[in-house]
Structures are given as structure tokens and as C-alpha cells.
Amino acid sequence: MQTEAAVVPEPVEWLSGSRAHPYLVVDVFTSRPLEGNQLGVFLDGRSFSTEDMQRLAREMNFAETVFLLPPESGGNVAMRIFTPAEELPFAGHPVLGTAFAVGTAFGTNSVVLETGAGAIPIALEREGGRIVFGRMKQPIPSWESFAREDELLAALGVQSSQLPVELYRNGPTHVYVMLSGEEAVAALRPDMPRLLDLGVATSCFTGHGRSWKTRMFYPAGGVSEDPATGSAAGPLAVHLARHGLVAFGDEIQIRQGEEIKRPSLLYAMATGTAERIESVEVGGSAQIVASGHFQIAT
């Protein structure tokens, strides 16, 4: 069988003299390619300055891009995480997606990733040798009332929240607003400039039992709407358990990203009590969908 010629020849010599920097694209919190939350993973970030990393994150224009570095505290790798606008100490979908890449490269069933918020262990599950699911232990969040609740509700275009509007910190800062049903969440059309001025990531959610739907808006981080927010999933499980909507130890399922055509599925669980959270776990699937090289001088 005759092989067809390429539409355009491979660009082997186009940028000769520039160093090649390999990267992967991983679709996170989905079992289907081209859904979930996109992640850029630069496999060797040692030659990049902080400014380079931020510029590359803007170039990739995903919710987050990560840069892998040699470990310093006994983990498999260290990582730095950037949105198009800023560096984050921790974020959920970058940790899960990176764990799939690192676990695949090393052939392991568990990895430890060193982040700005500490070492994060991730357990990996395989089928037929291929990683199909990962579960991370997240930093236990702190929480407090959100002082600018009225401004936030006005920016979202809603009258009230069915639970207290509270702010959680596990590296990123998330504020939670519970609405009356899925139609109310789907209908949100936030005033992005007003949300930008508030400077927080806002998760609007609804549901019951173990089934929940959420949308997350974070224009201050360069992300108008996030397809899947792993760092918000853990505190959501804490929030629901603290206020008695689920039991501590119950795993919840969270749907996100449908309104922006990137459907995602996340799993989260908090154990302990309202007075003492013992652990927070978030899990999901991911797909490595692309690899490439940036040909740039550094």
C-alpha cells in the first residue's frame, strides 16, 4: 500500500539553531480525549526562568501549564504551576494530569509531586497496563466567611446562596455559592469585570446526595470559566459535609464544564468531622492526547 505524502513536510529544519523543549498536552478529569480540562506539561523546565514560564503559559493559554523540575524532598518530580496570569502553589487538575504523565514515564502505580503547597501523593489505577484513574491527597483547606458576599452575588446576577458564602484556601482561594438547581447554574452569565475586581475563584454549585454540578469563574487568574477545577473539588466536599448536605466519608461526583463544551467528571471526599478535617481526596481520569516541542532560545 502506497503511503500518502504529508500535506506539508515535517518542520525539521525550519527553526534550526533553537533548542527543542518537549511538552505534553493532557486532558484531565475525563476518560474521553478532547474533553475535560487541558493541561500543558513541559517535561524539563530547568532552562526556563520564571518569566519564561509565565510567557509560555500565556502562549499555551490553557487554564494551567506546568514545568517539571528535579525533586528536592524525596518526590518523583517537583513542579511549578502557572495560569496565563500567575503562578499557583497548588492546583488540582495540573497535579492529576502530571501524575498520569509521570506515572506513565516511570511505570509506577503511585507518584509524589512536590508543589509549592508541599508534597502531594497520587495513587494510580491501571487497566491493561494503562493508567485509567488517579486519586490525590490534597492540602486540608482553611475557611472563613467571605466579607464581600453582596458584591459577589451582584457580579453573578443572583439574589442569594442556599449555604453560607464561604472562602476556602488550599493554595488557591475559592469562594462557594450554592444555587437552587441545575438550570440556575447553567443560566449564569457573570459580570466578568466585577468578578475580576473581587480577585477570587468563584464556584457556583447545586445538587443533592452524592451528585453535584458546578461552574467555576476566575478571571483574575486569566480563566474566565474553568472546565474542571480539582483544587475546588476537595473544599466543596468539605463545605457540603460541614453543612450537613453529605456525610463525612461519602464520595461525591461533580460534573463541570458542560456549558463550555468541555464536560468533566471529578470525585471528591472529605473525612473527619466539622471540627477536625482528617483528609481530603480528589480523583478522576485523564488522557495524554498530544506531544510536541517548543523551538525557542532560552
Torsion sign across C-alpha atoms 238, 242, 247, 252: negative
- Exactly one of 35, 64, 114, 225 is catalytic; name it: 64
Residues in the chain: 298
Q: Which among 42, 48, 1, 50 has a CA at the least distance from the CA of 24?
A: 42
Q: Which among 57, 41, 108 has a CA at the least distance from the CA of 290?
A: 41
The answer to whether 64 is a known catalytic residue is yes
User: In the 3-class helix/strand/coil scheme, how is 108-122 assigned residue by residue?
Assistant: CCEEEEEECCEEEEE
Q: Which residues contact 94 (CB under 8 A, 6 or more apart)?
A: 28, 39, 64, 65, 66, 79, 81, 230
Place of cell 497535579: 95
Residues belonging to the active site: 64
